[in-house]
């Protein structure tokens, strides 16, 4: 079952006094529930743009993007915000944790927005933190944590609400090789255990090696779509 459908999507940027720039040109791809896949390509290939369109952080110039069967370009602002809150998890290169909140409070943030009772938020986050090795850091603030620890908190925040899909934009870029590998292996385990779809934007060979499917973009078009044999 498709969790994400991208159909003939184009994205054109136009800056004042500059010629138009096409970041994506007629891209179509279908991503099924439970996939662990990567969007790859050189800088400027369109992979981050495509990830942003899937996440509803930007709107296509043409074509359609459907998440959980909903055409996100047709949703109102409130409906789009609800979809992002409830069905899409985000893991950013720069972690994007709230510095004045503890690790637990950061991870609970989306659940609080969803109106989940405090006791249930505490239970879910405690269980997840214990699972991913963050139990002793629940009360630490981001500036007291290493980059790898902060990124694990970001992963916990992204998955604790059981979204349909998690979008990870260069999640290993600020981590050393061994920490990055451990993080991706953790996400792979969570993908298998919980059936959450993961889509990475990356040029990290280590991430590409671990992905089940790699879609490569060049100059805003899909150059290849390779699935690893089971």
- Please, what are the domains in the chain? 2-227 (3.40.50.300)
Is pTM beyond 0.85? Reply is: yes
Percentage above 90 pLDDT, the chain: 70
The pLDDT score that the predictor gives to residue 230 is: 62
- DSSP-derived letter for residue 168 is E
187-202 pLDDT tens trace = 898 899 889 999 999 9
The pLDDT score that the predictor gives to residue 194 is: 87
Q: Residue 223: pLDDT band by 50, 70, 90 thresholds?
A: very high
Determine the average pLDDT of the residues in 125-141. 90
Spatial CA neighbour of 53 closest among 40, 42, 43, 67: 67
Determine the average pLDDT of the residues in 122-131. 91
Cα 30 to Cα 56: distance, rounded to the nearest angstrom: 16
Determine the average pLDDT of the residues in 19-38. 94
Q: In what order do the strands lie in the sheet with 36-40?
A: 88-91, 165-169, 197-201, 36-40, 213-218, 221-227
The pLDDT score that the predictor gives to residue 44 is: 87
Q: Is the dihedral of CA 104, 159, 10, 207 positive or negative?
A: positive
136-186 pLDDT tens trace = 999 999 999 998 899 889 999 998 988 999 999 988 888 888 888 988 998
Percentage above 70 pLDDT, the chain: 100
């Amino acid at each position: 079952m498709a969790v994400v459908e991208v159909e003939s999507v184009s994205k054109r940027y136009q800056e004042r006094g500059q010629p138009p720039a096409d970041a994506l040109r007629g891209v179509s791809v279908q991503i099924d529930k439970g996939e662990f896949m990567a969007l790859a390509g050189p800088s400027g290939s369109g992979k981050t743009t495509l990830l942003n369109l899937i996440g509803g952080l930007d709107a296509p110039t043409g074509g359609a993007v459907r998440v959980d069967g909903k055409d996100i370009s047709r949703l109102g602002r409130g409906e789009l915000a609800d979809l992002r809150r409830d069905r899409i998890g985000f893991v950013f290169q720069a972690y994007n944790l709230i510095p004045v909140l503890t690790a637990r409070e950061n991870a609970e943030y989306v659940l609080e927005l969803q109106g989940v009772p405090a006791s249930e938020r505490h239970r879910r986050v405690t269980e997840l933190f214990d699972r991913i090795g963050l139990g002793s850091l629940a009360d630490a603030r981001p500036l007291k944590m290493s980059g790898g620890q902060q990124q694990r908190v970001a992963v916990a925040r992204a998955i604790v609400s059981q979204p349909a899909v998690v979008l990870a934009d260069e999640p290993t870029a600020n981590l050393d090789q061994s920490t990055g590998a451990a993080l991706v292996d953790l996400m792979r385990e969570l993908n298998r255990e919980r059936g959450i779809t993961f889509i990475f934007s990356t040029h990290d060979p280590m991430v590409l090696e671990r992905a089940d499917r790699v879609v490569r973009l060049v100059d805003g078009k899909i150059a290849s779509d390779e699935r690893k044999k089971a």
